[in-house]
Amino acid sequence: QVTVTVEPSLQVAPYACQRRTPLDHPHPALVMALETLAEAALFEGEEARGLAFTRAASVLRCLPRALRGTHELSGLPGIGGHSHRVLQEVLEDGVCAEVEAVKQSERYQTMKLFTQIFGVGVRTADRWYREGLRSLGDLQSHGTRLTREQQAGVECFEDLAVPVGRAEAEGLACLVLDAAARLLPNASVTLAGGFRRGKPHGHDVDLLLSHPEEGREVGLLGPLVAWLEEQGLLLYQHSQHSSYTTTAEPSSSCGPLDRFERCFTILRLVLPATGTGVRAWRAVRLDLVVVPHSQLPFALLGWTGSRHFERELRRFARHKREMVLNSHGLYNMQQGTFLPASSEEEIFQHLGLDYIPPTLRNA
Ligand code: 8DG
Ligand code: MN
Ligand code: MN
């Protein structure tokens, strides 16, 4: 009997939503190098360049086995000249000089620090950098004006820099579910975001609130947030009303932002009892999103991520299917109709895509 070992082929489909991308992949160093350059490009406001590096990194994330050499890069989609040079250097020398220089630079380090603050985006971070600010201490000593959100972000900075663990996220989901079900029997709470993709840690906890009867979810968020407040669990909150209308033109170009009623919070996460003198809680970011039942599959798909997977789904829908996909629904532009779905699987079917389960959406 002859045994033939077939190596997994490195054929990669062009859109990330056509690929299965697990959490673990064979090239952490290569992906890290490209994602650092992507991040640095975004810090300079160079979206297109950032996206090119993100695309290349995402292709490496889905490889079923390690590359056997630089020659195998040429068969892969989405690896531009610059990415190719970076990958070649890391494969041959272990590091890429350009990436190391970026990581060491004052600009990159400061932008990374400032954008890590809750409520601070690239534009604000850049303005502070140009004003000569370099540290959290500088913000205070220069009397920098902060929004209420940024103020909370600075105060909780060290806590929020600690990753949230899966058990902590599930604990918060249970706490919210208990409270929601008391206020509205049969209310549902779904843990979305990175945790749904199988990540062991996250920078926040993303929860979708709903109810099996359409419309019953309206009015749940206010009392729920009030209850968290009464329990002394709320360190910060910022609510937004729903701005969804079926008459508005469907759009997928407004980024990940959607129009659900939501509340961005910083919560006091109560920690297991420890010795005396040790603080018994830690600040954690929690996003609550209220979703009508009929939109739940779309919201779940939209809030599970990864961000790149979402971007690619929407790009695929538009360019390959003439459809508009967002967290509210799927719109067929030729027919001028919305395509309803009762599960994520159905949305993939509408798009003519193989179903990709959440744990394989780590693009
Ligand atoms: P992490 O928290 O584990 O670090 O990563 P994540 O869970 O993948 O990222 P996230 O920033 O918490 O976002 C989760 C997903 O939610 C992401 O795919 C984008 C999506 N999303 C929407 N709408 C909105 C929105 O209005 N704001 C934000 N921040 N994310 C949104 O679908
Ligand atoms: Mn998240
Ligand atoms: Mn989030």
pLDDT of 240-295, one tens digit each?
A: 988 888 766 677 655 557 889 999 999 999 988 877 777 899 999 999 999 999 99
At residue 253, the pLDDT reads 56
Of the residues 160, 162, 263, 307, which should be mutated to test ligand 1's pocket, given the most ligand atoms within 8 Å of the CB?
307
pLDDT in tens, 179-193: 999 999 999 999 999
**Is residue 287 flagged as an active site residue?**
yes
Query: Would you state the pLDDT for residue 256?
Result: 55
- pLDDT score of 361: 98
Q: Which atom of ligand 1 is nearest to the CA of 326?
A: 32
Instruction: Report residue 47's pLDDT band, with 50, 70 and 90 as the boundaries.
Output: very high
ipTM rounded to 2 decimals: 0.94
Q: Is 358 in the pocket of ligand 1 (CB under 6 A)?
A: no
Percent with pLDDT over 90 in the chain: 89
State which amino acid sits at residue 35: E
Q: CA-to-CA distance for 327 and 310, rounded, in angstroms?
A: 10
Probe ligand 1: pick from 303, 313, 314, max atoms within 8 Å of CB?
303
Strands 201-202 and 261-270: unpaired
State yes or no: is 204 an active-site residue: yes
Residue type, 193: G
Residue partners of 125: CB distance under 8 A and separation at least 6: 43, 110, 111, 114, 115
Quickly list H helices, 156-306.
157-161, 166-183, 193-196, 221-230, 296-304
Instruction: Tell me: pLDDT of 2 over 90.
Output: no
Kindly state the DSSP code that residue 73 receives in the 8-state scheme: G
| Mean pLDDT lowest among 93-97, 168-172, 254-258, 346-350 | 254-258
Token code pair at residue 31? 């992906």
Q: Is the peptide bond before 306 cis (omega within 30 degrees of 0)?
A: yes
What integer pLDDT is reported at residue 338 of this predicted model? Answer: 97
Contacts 24+ apart (CB under 8 A), 168-175: 168/205, 168/269, 168/284, 169/195, 169/202, 169/205, 170/195, 171/269, 172/205, 172/207, 172/267, 172/269, 172/284, 172/286, 173/205, 173/207
How distant, in Å, are the alpha carbons of 103, 110, 128, 150 from that of 132? 19, 10, 7, 18
Establish how many alpha carbons lie within 13 A of residue 241's alpha carbon, considering only the half-sphere containing its beta carbon: 2
Catalogue the E-assigned strands of 271-336: 281-290, 323-325, 330-332
- In 17-66, where do the E strands start and end? none
From CA 160, how far away is CA 158, in angstroms rounded? 6
pLDDT one-digit tens code per residue, 141-157: 999 999 999 999 999 99
Q: What is the pLDDT of residue 272?
A: 85
Mean of per-residue pLDDT scores for the chain: 95
Which residue's CA is minimally distant from atom 18 of ligand 1? Answer: 305
**Is the C-beta atom of 126 inside 6 A of ligand 1?**
no
Is any atom of ligand 1 closer than 6 Å to the C-beta of 257?
Answer: yes
Average pLDDT of the residues in 110-118: 98
Residue 80: name the closest of 104, 103, 58, 56 by CA.
56
Ligand 1 pocket residue status of 121, Cβ below 6 Å: no
Per-residue confidence (pLDDT) for residue 276, from 0 to 100: 75
List the shell of residues around ion ligand 3, using CB closer than 5 Å.
Answer: 204, 206, 287
Minimum-distance ligand 1 atom for the alpha carbon of 262: 26
Start-to-end CA distance of the chain, whole Å, equals 40
Q: What is the DSSP string of 45-57?
A: T-HHHHHHHHHHH
pLDDT(164) > 60: yes
| Active-site residue identified among 126, 178, 206, 258 | 206
